[in-house]
């Protein structure tokens, strides 16, 4: 059961990192234009 939680949080961490990266990219683009 604990291993399932670890896998879930690993997946969640990767998803959160990707979302932040995309949002940061949009902000940088808006500032450049």
Structural domain of 22 = 1-33
Condensed to tens digits (0 to 9), the pLDDT of residues 5-18 reads 888 888 888 899 99
Domain count, the chain: 1
Residue 7 is encoded by which pair of tokens?
Answer: 């896998």
Confidence of residue 21 (pLDDT cuts 50, 70, 90): very high
- Classify burial at 16, counting beta carbons within 10 Å of its beta carbon; exposed 0-12, middle 13-18, buried 19 or more: exposed
pLDDT of residue 29: 94
The predicted pLDDT at position 1 comes to 58
Q: What is the mean pLDDT of the chain?
A: 89
């Amino acid at each position: 059961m604990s291993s399932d939680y670890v896998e879930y949080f690993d997946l969640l961490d990767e998803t959160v990192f990707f979302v932040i990266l995309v949002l940061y990219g949009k902000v940088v683009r808006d500032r450049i234009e």
